[in-house]
Amino acid sequence: MDGFDIKDNVIIMAATNRPDVLDTALLRPGRFDRQILVDRPDLRGRHDILKIHTRGKPLGPAIDLEVLARRTPGFTGADLANFVNEAALLAARHGKKEIEMTELEDAIERVIAGPEKKSRIISEKEKRIIAYHESGHALVGHVLPNTDPIHKISIISRGRALGYTLALPVEDKFLSARGEMLDEIAMMLGGRVAEAIAIGDITTGASNDIERATKLARQMVTQYGMSDKLGPMTLGEGAHEVFLGRDFSAQPNYSQEIAFEIDKEVRRLIDEAYDVAYKILTERRELLDLMADVLVERETVDKEELEALLDGRWAEYLAEEERQPKEEQATPGEDSSGSPMGGSSAEPTPASDGASLLGIPVADIGEAGP
What CA–CA distances, in Å, run from 50 to 63, 72, 243, 346? 12, 11, 36, 21
Residue of 100, 134, 184, 195 marked catalytic: 134
* 134 noted as active-site residue: yes
Least Cα distance to 128 among 201, 177, 75, 184 occurs for: 201
DSSP calls for 21-72: GS-HHHHSTTSS----------HHHHHHHHHHHTTTS-B-TT--HHHHHHH-
90's CB contacts (< 8 A; 6+ apart) are: 103, 106, 107
Least Cα distance to 109 among 85, 83, 135, 127 occurs for: 83
205's CB contacts (< 8 A; 6+ apart) are: 129, 130, 133, 162, 191, 195, 365, 366
What CA–CA distances, in Å, run from 28 to 3, 9, 24, 37? 11, 19, 6, 17
Instruction: Name the DSSP letter for residue 114.
Output: -
Give the CA angle between residues 307, 313, 318 to the nearest 5°: 100
The answer to whether residues 132 and 199 touch, using CB atoms and an 8 Å cutoff, is: yes
Helix, strand, or coil (residue 139): helix
Which residues face 154 on adjacent strands?
A: 164, 300
- Cα–Cα dist 230/219, whole Å: 13
96's CB contacts (< 8 A; 6+ apart) are: 103
- Cα–Cα dist 82/112, whole Å: 11
Catalytic residue annotation: 134
